[in-house]
Structure 1
Amino acid sequence: MRERRAFAALIAAFLFLLAGTARAVEVIDDRGARVDISRPPQRIVSLMPALTETVCALGACGRLVGVDDYSNWPAAVNALPRVGGLEDARVEAIVALRPDLVLAPASSRALPRLQALGLTVLVLEPRTLRDVRRVLQALGPVLGVGDPEEVWLRINRDVQQAALRLPAERRGTRVYVEVSSTPYAASEGSFIGELLVRLGAENIVPASLGPFPKLNPEFVVRADPQVIIVARNDAASLRTRPGWSRIAALRTGQVCALDQAHIDVVMRAGPRLGEGAQLLVDCLEGKLQQGSPGR
């Protein structure tokens, strides 16, 4: 009997150790760095809205203790401390939150200081649809909750439903998507460009220029898009740009003016991509034209 109890205790101890080992996760992040996560993090700081939304989509919103200045979805994150943005992350404020994991994009200027202070930093920056799936697959095991594949399948399903909404006569429409009035654009190689392809539209900016290239305004004039998608605040000034009054989209009034809430959905490579696809279809159908009240 004593031997049986000793054996049972040994088995229990082995299973306990095995469970502890199973919780450890190793991730190769966007720096190519190996990040070892010994147990699911309980105090997370996110420095990118798309990463914040992904954490919440996987069911770990309650573990966020701080977010960047622009994270605003879901509504629960609006009550969290703000720690700056890509250019001005407040490292002292991040440290004060005692995070056991910091999620940051590769473009964050705070990365060297965060690493020097010994914080566990996981660098992820989704720019394409493949990246969105990759980030989900990376964060699922790290968080130890949620089903990354289920979230991805939902995104795919919603995008497909959006594509079915687009009338046949609008397929092949030439589109220009401006992400900044500099102007920076979303090319075919960005997640926005990939969504447009799936919807059946044609992006005038080739992938060869990079995901979000800075353009010579004359490039847009020569490409002559039939629909322009732009922030509502910038829509009125398009005609003042040299030569732009000749563009088909401006001549026919096909300027889709997105308010800030729409921009937050369309411009973030995260779990709301399906909703973003629906908004892009609204743009292609002329439902969000300049001066209209919006969706």
Structure 2
Amino acid sequence: MSVLARLLLPWLVVLLWIASGAQAVAAPPEGGVVDDRGRPVRLDKPPQRIVSLLPSLTETVCALGACDRLVAVDDYSNWPASVRALPHVGGLEDTQVEAIVALRPDLVLAAGSSRTIGRLESLGIPVAALEPRRLDDLRRVIGQLDALLATSRGDALWARIQRELTDASQRLGPAQNGQRVYFEVGSGPYAASEASFVGELLARLGAVNVVAGHLGPFPRLNPEFVVRADPQVIMHSSHAEPFATRPGWAGIRAVRDKRICRFVGADADVLVRPGPRVAQGVRLMADCLQQHGRSGG
């Protein structure tokens, strides 16, 4: 896999999450939960050998104090640092089923769009399909994992996340509200709209997302759309060509005045994952908006 493909894959995973759609959720069974497929997941006892196939789920398991129960993770799980030493068993499209089976897990956590769920279940391995897409989803998933793992830490974790989000959202003063922002997640260009998780974080900061939610969470745009939108600030995690080289983009206020923030590495991970570190993502965006102020408005 090329370097560019590996860098863009986390955002493509997000697109697949959204495309898979939400399923109707029934009442949870006694001693278990109903996952995002609408299927009951009930365990005889709290799992002690867990495989996580989604970074946001890996991070949530650890935030609930159960990191020591993980026996393997997907190729993109890299936080906290301790999970990097675990066996890595592939990604969304190349999950290593045989390696998972050999680890004898008593629970596998996966995205509902994972193609390996049926095969794992046919081998007698319990699977919970959980896909946080928005903050409300994150709260729900924390509760579901808390119930499955019997950690009794879910309420405290959510309360902490809420406090951190509130603190992070207050980093900007009223004079910095209303900045028009374009957030690019990949060349194409693909953008994070108001309907995306990224858009939800921008809204908490009082920013105006130039990409409307009715276009879908992560739409592919006509480049001319961004020229007409004329954002004041551009945020991105892509490795595309310099924006000024795109036809017409040199005249965009954010490009002309160099009000561009690029997030890479660990910062990009925080922004793409609806997990327990969401407040860090808000702080990153706030720092960008604070740095560029409202000049050129």
State the TM bucket, normalised to the shorter chain: 0.7 to 0.9
Q: Which runs of 4+ in 1 moved over 3 A?
A: none
**Structure 1 residue 226 corresponds to structure 2 residue 247:** no
Q: Once the 2 structures are TM-superposed, how far is the Cα of residue 107 of structure 1 from its aligned partner?
A: 2.3
Take 2:182 and 2:249, find their aligned partners in 1: how far apart are those partners?
A: 12
Which of 125, 133, 140 is the equivalent residue of 1:134? 140
1:30-68 C-alpha deviation (Å, 9 max, x unpaired): 111111122111110001110000000000000000000
1:27, 1:35 within 8 Å by CA — same for their partners in 2? yes
Which of 57, 63, 70 is the equivalent residue of 1:57? 63
Take 1:33 and 1:225, find their aligned partners in 2: how far apart are those partners?
A: 43
**Structure 1 residue 109 corresponds to structure 2 residue 115:** yes
Take 2:123 and 2:225, find their aligned partners in 1: how far apart are those partners?
A: 45
> 2:251 matched to which residue of 1?
246
- CA 1:242–1:117 in structure 2 vs 1: closer, same or farther (change >3 Å)? farther
- One-letter identity of the residue aligned with 1:227: V
Take 1:178 and 1:111, find their aligned partners in 2: how far apart are those partners?
A: 31
* 1:278-289 correspondence to structure 2 within 5 Å: 278-286=283-291
Aligned residues: 264
1:24, 1:38 within 8 Å by CA — same for their partners in 2? no
**Structure 1 residue 215 corresponds to structure 2 residue 187:** no
Take 1:285 and 1:260, find their aligned partners in 2: how far apart are those partners?
A: 21
- CA 1:25–1:264 in structure 2 vs 1: closer, same or farther (change >3 Å)? same
- CA 1:121–1:222 in structure 2 vs 1: closer, same or farther (change >3 Å)? same
Q: Once the 2 structures are TM-superposed, how far is the Cα of residue 264 of structure 1 from its aligned partner?
A: 0.8
TM-score scaled by structure 1? 0.85
**Structure 1 residue 34 corresponds to structure 2 residue 45:** no
1:219-249 C-alpha deviation (Å, 9 max, x unpaired): 2222221111112633x52222222222221
1:53, 1:74 within 8 Å by CA — same for their partners in 2? yes
Counterpart of 2:170 in 1: which secondary structure? Answer: helix
* 1:36-185 correspondence to structure 2 within 5 Å: 36-185=42-191
Take 2:109 and 2:205, find their aligned partners in 1: how far apart are those partners?
A: 31
Take 1:212 and 1:118, find their aligned partners in 2: how far apart are those partners?
A: 36
> 2:270 matched to which residue of 1?
265
TM-score scaled by structure 2? 0.84
> 2:19 matched to which residue of 1?
none
Take 2:100 and 2:222, find their aligned partners in 1: how far apart are those partners?
A: 38
1:163-219 C-alpha deviation (Å, 9 max, x unpaired): 211132221111111222232222212222111111111111222222222222222
Rg: which structure is higher? 1
Q: Once the 2 structures are TM-superposed, how far is the Cα of residue 24 of structure 1 from its aligned partner?
A: 6.1
- CA 1:277–1:34 in structure 2 vs 1: closer, same or farther (change >3 Å)? same
Which structure has more RCO (C-alpha within 8 Å, separation ≥ 6)? 2
- One-letter identity of the residue aligned with 1:114: L
Counterpart of 2:151 in 1: which secondary structure? Answer: coil
Provide the identity percentage: 58
Q: Which runs of 5+ in 1 are unaligned?
A: 1-22, 288-295
